[in-house]
Amino acid sequence: EGFSISFVDVSERVKEIAADLHMRDYYTATTYFRVFIASMFPQYDKAFYLDCDTVILGDVSELYEQNLDGYMLAGAPCEGVNSFEVYKRYVTEVDGLNPDYFFNAGVLLLNLKSFREEGFYEQFADLLRKYKFTVIQDEDYLNVLCQDKVLRLPRSWNKSPVANDVLPREELRIVHYLMTWKPWRYTDIPYQEYFWEYAVRTEFYDQLKGMLDSATVADMEKDKLVEKNLKALAESEISRADGYFKVYGKRYGNKA
């Protein structure tokens, strides 16, 4: 009781900027869908966005009730960035941002009213045409455009297996199986027990378990190659003379 589910097709909106979108590896145009939420749902002033590779262990109403006055969104530090020196350097040198404050875009509380008032979509489309972020993609755009208007959340709201520290369940709110740390592909993923705890209660359990059981050495080698290539891409972007921060400076639209 008290809720409904709607499936909303955003493919037509994506066509507007499809030619400018950059995709790589397992990324598709769907990763950019979150930027359309404010314009697609004008009746709402706030929205909770969640990636599909997550498990909720806490009460998300605690997050939703956060006061976003003066902020465009609330997000937690990106552990995928801060667990690797090359990505920390990428965020610092290419985005011109402090990696400690670089948020992961998989769990977001969005101030939709502010997105509309700030003209976020227009800024995003404009920057997309001017500069292609190829490493962290939509996350780069969101961090660059919202950088000074972000409410920082505790890591417990977006905890990933990537980081070395493992939090006990009572401290966890949301677990995010980002990058290649997927419990439906590997048997040694931190926090995997929470994923299977809920997966077994769905009609998809047999399919998910089959994906795990059928994973091959070739699949694992492919994942390693994806990780290696991404790090190499980050190094390449860092060395570019025409990188975003070198050309535009920290504040988009102003020369350094």
Tell me the per-residue pLDDT of 176-215, one tens digit each, with 9 for 90 and over: 999 999 999 999 999 999 999 999 999 999 999 999 999 9
The residues, any chain, with a CB within 8 Å of residue 41's CB and separated by 6 or more, are 47, 112
Q: What is the model's pLDDT at position 164?
A: 85
Reported confidence tier of residue 16, pLDDT bands at 50, 70, 90:
low
* DSSP symbol at 254: S
205 backbone dihedrals φ, ψ, rounded to 5°: -55, -50
For residue 98, which amino acid is it?
Answer: N
CB 225 within 8 A of CB 217: no
Q: Write the DSSP string, 120-170.
A: HHHHHHHHHHH----SSTHHHHHHHHHTTSEEEPPGGGSB-TTSS----GG
CB 252 within 8 A of CB 118: no
- Residue 14: count of CB within 10 angstroms of its CB: 16
User: pLDDT of 132-182, one tens digit each?
Assistant: 898 988 899 999 999 889 999 999 999 999 988 899 999 999 999 999 999
User: pLDDT of 102-140, one tens digit each?
Assistant: 999 999 999 999 999 999 988 988 888 889 898 988 899
Q: Write the DSSP string, 40-105.
A: H-TT-SEEEEE-SSEEE-S-HHHHHTS--TT-SEEEEE-HHHHT-HHHHHHIIIII-S-GGGPEEE
Q: What is the CA radius of gyration of the chain?
A: 19
Strand partners, 175: 55, 159
| pTM of the entire predicted model | 0.88
The residues, any chain, with a CB within 8 Å of residue 215's CB and separated by 6 or more, are 185, 186
User: pLDDT of 64-96, one tens digit each?
Assistant: 999 999 999 999 999 999 999 999 999 999 999
